[in-house]
C-alpha cells in the first residue's frame, strides 16, 4: 500500500491552537493579511486544506497517514496541505518500482503567480532548461521508501534533491508524466514573504487581482485532472474581499 504523508500542518480549525503554533516569523505576514482581507488567513488556509483533502481522497490505491502509522519500507508520497495529486499517481509510481530502485520522481507542475522578475526568470529557465540540480525534487513530485534515514528527505525537498543527485543512474527513475500539482496560492509563504521579505498591503491588493486571473484560466490538457480543484480555489478567490 502506498502512503500519502501530509507534512506538518497548522491547526487551522482551532483559533487558540493556531495562535499557539504560529511561528514568530509568520505572524507579521498573517497579521497584515488579516488587516487587508475580510477572510482571515487561518480560514483561507483551512478552506485550501479542505480542497486538498478532497483531492487526496480521490487518489486510488493510497492511504493518508501520519509518519508513525507508515510501516518501514512502505512507499511514501510526501505533500503539503494545499497541493494535489493525479488520482492514479500511486498506481503509476508503483509500476515504476523495480530491483535497485530507491525512489521515483516525476515532472513538477506549478500553479503560481511570479513573486518578482527574478522568480519570473527562474520560471522561464525551468521551462527552457529544466530544473536546477537543487530542485530535482519539489514539494510533491517524488516518492521514497519509509525509513528513519529517508524521513528528513521526505520533509525537505531540498535535501531530497541533493540525495537524488548523488544516486546511481537508474536508481531513481524519472517519469515524464504530470502526476502532481504544486498550488502556490496567494496565502503561501512564497507569496507573502518572497525572498524572506515581508510584503505590504498594497502589494497584497495587487496580488489579489493577479491570482483571480490565474484561476480564471483553464489548466493545460496535461493537468486537466486538477481542474475541479483549481475551480474550487477560483471560487474561494472570488470570496476573498478587501477589508473596508
Examine residue 220 and state whether it is found in any structural domain, yes or no.
yes
Q: What angle do CA 147, 67, 6 make, to 5 degrees?
A: 120
Count how many domains the chain has.
Answer: 1
Q: What DSSP designation does 182 have? A: E
Write the DSSP string, 72-85: TT-EEEEE-TT-EE
Q: In the predicted model, what is the mean pLDDT of the chain?
A: 92
Examine residue 172 and state whether it is found in any structural domain, yes or no.
yes
Q: Domain range holding 75?
A: 2-239
Examine residue 29 and state whether it is found in any structural domain, yes or no.
yes
Examine residue 187 and state whether it is found in any structural domain, yes or no.
yes
pLDDT band per the 50, 70, 90 thresholds, residue 199: confident
pLDDT digit string, tens, across residues 119-132: 555 555 655 556 66
Number of residues assigned to the chain: 244
pLDDT digit string, tens, across residues 202-236: 889 999 999 999 999 999 999 999 999 999 999 99
pLDDT band per the 50, 70, 90 thresholds, residue 133: low
**Pairing status of strand 103-106 against strand 174-175:** parallel
Examine residue 80 and state whether it is found in any structural domain, yes or no.
yes
Examine residue 18 and state whether it is found in any structural domain, yes or no.
yes
Output the CA–CA distances (angstroms, integers) from residue 220 to 110, 122, 176, 227, in the order listed: 11, 20, 15, 9
Q: Is the pLDDT of residue 117 over 60?
A: no
CA distance 89 to 181: 11
Instruction: Give the pLDDT score at 147.
Output: 97
Examine residue 78 and state whether it is found in any structural domain, yes or no.
yes
Examine residue 244 and state whether it is found in any structural domain, yes or no.
no
Helix (H) or strand (E) holding 208: helix 201-216
Burial classification of residue 128, based on how many CB atoms lie within 10 Å of its CB (0-12 exposed, 13-18 middle, 19 or more buried): exposed
Give the global pTM.
0.92
Residue 76 has φ and ψ, to the nearest 5°, of: -120, 130
Amino acid at each position: 500500500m502506498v502512503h500519502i504523508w501530509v507534512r506538518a500542518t497548522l491547526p487551522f480549525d482551532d483559533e487558540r491552537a493556531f495562535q499557539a503554533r504560529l511561528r514568530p516569523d509568520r505572524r507579521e505576514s498573517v497579521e497584515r493579511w488579516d488587516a487587508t482581507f475580510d477572510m482571515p488567513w487561518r480560514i483561507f488556509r483551512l478552506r485550501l486544506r479542505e480542497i486538498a483533502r478532497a483531492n487526496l481522497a480521490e487518489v486510488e490505491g493510497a492511504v493518508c497517514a501520519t509518519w508513525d502509522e507508515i510501516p518501514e519500507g512502505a512507499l511514501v508520497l510526501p505533500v503539503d496541505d494545499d497541493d494535489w495529486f493525479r488520482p492514479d499517481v500511486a498506481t503509476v509510481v508503483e509500476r515504476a518500482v523495480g530491483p535497485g530502485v530507491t525512489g521515483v520522481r516525476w515532472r513538477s507542475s506549478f500553479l503560481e503567480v511570479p513573486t518578482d522578475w527574478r522568480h519570473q526568470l527562474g520560471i522561464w529557465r525551468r521551462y527552457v532548461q529544466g530544473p536546477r540540480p537543487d530542485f530535482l525534487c519539489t514539494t510533491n513530485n517524488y516518492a521514497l521508501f519509509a525509513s528513519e534515514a529517508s524521513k528528513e528527505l521526505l520533509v525537505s525537498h531540498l535535501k531530497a534533491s541533493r540525495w537524488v543527485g548523488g544516486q546511481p543512474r537508474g536508481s531513481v527513475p524519472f517519469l515524464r508524466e504530470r502526476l502532481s500539482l504544486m498550488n502556490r496560492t496567494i496565502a503561501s509563504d512564497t507569496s507573502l514573504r518572497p525572498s524572506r521579505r515581508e510584503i505590504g498591503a498594497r502589494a497584497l491588493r495587487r496580488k489579489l487581482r493577479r491570482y483571480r486571473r490565474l484561476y480564471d484560466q483553464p489548466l493545460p490538457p496535461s493537468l486537466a485532472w486538477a481542474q475541479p480543484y483549481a475551480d474550487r480555489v477560483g471560487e474561494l478567490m472570488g470570496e476573498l474581499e478587501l477589508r473596508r
